[in-house]
Amino acid sequence: MIISKVSIKNKYLSEQELLIINKVKEYFKDFSDQEISDYSHKEDAYIKTNMNELISYDYALDIKGIYDKDEHKA
């Protein structure tokens, strides 16, 4: 498990971003590091991003299995 040594201050992240982080954290809580890696390499965020480019945070809304079909569109 990865645990931050520093708490995240809300001035850096929006309420929606914090909700997304918590939802992703909850979904993957029982995955091993290798399972997370294997899973992430099947995602559009990995597939559609060029080598050595930062992966856009916007892809967090598209992680397969985490959201109901229209949940994040509200």
Specify the pLDDT at position 9: 65
| Alpha-carbon gap, residue 50 to 8, rounded angstroms | 28
| Alpha-carbon gap, residue 10 to 47, rounded angstroms | 30
56 inside domain: yes
Judge contact between 45 and 56, C-beta under 8 A. Answer: yes
Report which residue type is found at 2. I
At 8, the pLDDT band (50, 70, 90 cuts) reads low
Q: What percent of the chain lies above the pLDDT cut of 70?
A: 82
| Alpha-carbon gap, residue 51 to 15, rounded angstroms | 30
69 inside domain: no
- Name which of 29-33, 46-50, 52-56, 59-63 the model is least confident about: 59-63
57 inside domain: yes
For residue 1, pLDDT over 70 is answered with no
Domain, as residue range, for 41: 30-64
Answering whether pTM is above 0.75, one says no
51 inside domain: yes
54 inside domain: yes
In total, how many domains does the chain have? 1
46 inside domain: yes
52 inside domain: yes
CA distance from start to end of the chain? 31
